[in-house]
C-alpha cells in the first residue's frame, strides 16, 4: 500500500524530533519496549472490535495498529518493503507448509 510507504516516511522523519511536539518522536524517545506495548494494545483493541462486529471500529483500530507497527518497524530498522518482500516470498505457499518450513527455535 502506497499510503504505508508515505506514513513510514513521515515516521522516519520524526526520529530525533521534539517529543513535546510530536507523538511519534515521543514514542521513539520512550524506547522499543513502549513502542511494542502500544502495538500490543492496538492489536487487542482491533480484536475486541472484531469480536463485537463493529466494522467502523475495526477500520479505525486497524489504522492505529498499522501506525504503531510502522513506528516499531522504523525503530527496528525494518521497512515496509522488507515486510512486502517476505509476504511475496510466501505468496502461493500453503500456510501450513510455510509454518513447517520455519526453523525450530
Banded model confidence at residue 103, pLDDT cuts 50, 70, 90: low
The residue to which cell 510507504 is assigned: 5
Task: Tell me what pLDDT residue 25 has.
Answer: 98
Q: What are phi and psi of 31, to 5 degrees?
A: 95, 170
Q: What is the mean pLDDT of the chain?
A: 93
Residue 105 has pLDDT above 60, yes or no: no
Residue 61 lies in a domain: yes
The average pLDDT across 9-23 equals 96
For the whole model, what pTM was predicted? 0.86
Residue 26 lies in a domain: yes
Q: What's the pLDDT tens digit per position in 64-100?
A: 999 999 999 999 999 999 999 999 998 887 767 667 7
Residue 102 lies in a domain: no
Task: Tell me what pLDDT residue 96 has.
Answer: 72
d(CA 34, CA 19): 14
Following CA atoms 22, 60, 7, 17 in sequence, which dihedral angle do they give, to the nearest 10 degrees?
A: 10
Task: Tell me what pLDDT residue 35 has.
Answer: 98
Residue 64 lies in a domain: yes
Residue 35 lies in a domain: yes
Residue 86 lies in a domain: no
Residue 16 has pLDDT above 80, yes or no: yes
Helix (H, G, I), strand (E, B) or coil at 43: helix
Q: What's the domain count of the chain?
A: 1
Q: Tell me the CATH number at 60.
A: 1.10.287.1080
Range of the domain at 49: 2-78
Amino acid at each position: 500500500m502506497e499510503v504505508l510507504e508515505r506514513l513510514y516516511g513521515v515516521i522516519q522523519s520524526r526520529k530525533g524530533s521534539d517529543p513535546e511536539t510530536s507523538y511519534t518522536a515521543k514514542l521513539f524517545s520512550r524506547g522499543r519496549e513502549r513502542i511494542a506495548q502500544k502495538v500490543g494494545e492496538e492489536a487487542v483493541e482491533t480484536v475486541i472490535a472484531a469480536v463485537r462486529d463493529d466494522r467502523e471500529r475495526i477500520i479505525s483500530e486497524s489504522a492505529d495498529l498499522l501506525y504503531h507497527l510502522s513506528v516499531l518497524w522504523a525503530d527496528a530498522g525494518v521497512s515496509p518493503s522488507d515486510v512486502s518482500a517476505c509476504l511475496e516470498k510466501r505468496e502461493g505457499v500453503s500456510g501450513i507448509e510455510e509454518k513447517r518450513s520455519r526453523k525450530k527455535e
